[in-house]
Amino acid sequence: MQTEMRYAGHPEDVRHYDTTRIRKEFLIEKVFIRDEIFFVYSLYDRFMVGGAMPVTKRLKLEATEDLKAPDFLSRREMGIVNTGGPAVVETADTSYELDYKDALYLGQGTRDVVFSSADPDKPAKLYINSAPAHQSYPCKKVTREDAEVNVLGDLESSNHRTVIKLLVNSILPTCQLQMGMTELSPGSVWNTMPVHTHDRRMEAYFYFEVPDRQAVCHFMGDPDETRHIWMVNDQAVLSPSWSIHSAAGTSGYTFIWGMAGENLDYGDMDVRYPDTLK
């Protein structure tokens, strides 16, 4: 199991970062490592972003030195979305089978978590978000059929998309973690438009279903001092509460959004329209 620490940055400092520094602080270039569990521990709301890719091994979730806890989920909750082949997630109490794009919530105190692939030739790719938790809520598997689905935008503005709310408070109780998935319709490239910030919550995006030789340009930063990060398939990016988070792709793509912070109000957004961005 591998972990990496990322520190929080002030927006006045970030505006002076060059491309290399921006990518170092916010981009997670390799989420999945064969037969490993990998996490970035971010000091933005102590949010953790990572992945588990079991191929020939069963991977046990263990507490890292950073957590100073007997178990990984002693003081945390976790959300998982499978972006690979069929997966099995075992806990001390039960076992869950996750197909492509199925999600799983693990509540605080869940023990003996083990990740494995049903077929080593089609390894699971389990994208994971975790946030501090103050109360234990039941574990629950959520499929697309269980999710809250909203269709937004239109082709005329190149942002016709389907928002699939998987681990949100209209579906199941959580302490602060929320996760979902947005699929772009054919011919659309923009996500999360108009852009917004929310000082009450931070966020992370994971881009997948990006074809070879194609890319997504993720936009971040203060609305009056924006920056961009070019990303390819299976990469994630941290989004501070003061930063916008939107993107345009050179092809179709899907992304998973996860967030944590002060509230569970999905609609809590401070909107900035495109003609006001700088």
User: Any idea what the CATH number is for the domain that residue 6 is in?
Assistant: 2.60.120.10
pLDDT at 94: 95
What gap in Å lies between CA 277 and CA 96, rounded to an integer? 44
What gap in Å lies between CA 138 and CA 48, rounded to an integer? 20
Domain that holds residue 9: 2-276
pLDDT at 64: 87
pLDDT at 199: 92
CB 117 within 8 Å of CB 85: yes
Collect the ranges in the chain with pLDDT lower than 50: none
Question: Do strands 201-208 and 235-239 pair parallel, antiparallel, or not at all (unpaired)?
Answer: antiparallel
Total of domains in the chain: 1
- In eight-state DSSP terms, residue 262 is S
Write phi, then psi, for 255 (nearest 5 degrees). Answer: -140, 150
The 10s digit of each residue's pLDDT in 34-93 is 999 999 999 999 999 999 999 999 999 999 888 999 999 999 999 999 999 999 999 999
The tokens describing 194, both together, are 């108009």
pLDDT at 112: 97
Distances (CA, A) of 246 to 81, 169, 195, 223: 21, 23, 6, 11
- CB burial string 105-135: b at 16+ within 10 A, e below: bbbbbbeebbbbbeeeeebbbbbbbbbbbee
